Amino acid sequence: MAEKKKVEVPSFTVQSKVKEYIAAKGLRSSGDLIDELNGAVQQVLDKAAARTKSNDRSTVRGGDV
C-alpha cells in the first residue's frame, strides 16, 4: 500500500496562544490540533482569495471570509 505524503501547511496560528485559550476553558489539546487548525485557516483564506478574484479585486476584505 502506498504511503500518504503529508502536505506541508504553513503555520497561521501561534501554538502557545491556542493551547492557552483551550486550557482557559478547562480542556487539554491534542498534538494534531494545531495542524488541523492551520488547515482550516488555509481553507478559509483560499476561499476568501477566490472570492476576491471573482469580484475583480486585488484586496482580500473581511467580507470575503
Rounded Cα–Cα distance for residues 42 and 36 (Å): 10
Encode pLDDT of 3-59 as tens digits: 666 667 789 999 999 999 999 999 999 999 999 999 999 999 999 999 999 999 999
User: What residues have CB less than 8 Å from 34, skipping those under 6 apart?
Assistant: 11, 13, 15, 18
SS3 annotation, the chain: CCCCCCCCCCCCCCHHHHHHHHHHCCCCCCCCHHHHHHHHHHHHHHHHHHHHHHCCCCCCCHHHC
In single-letter form, the type of residue at position 36 comes to E
pLDDT of residue 8: 73
pTM of the model: 0.79
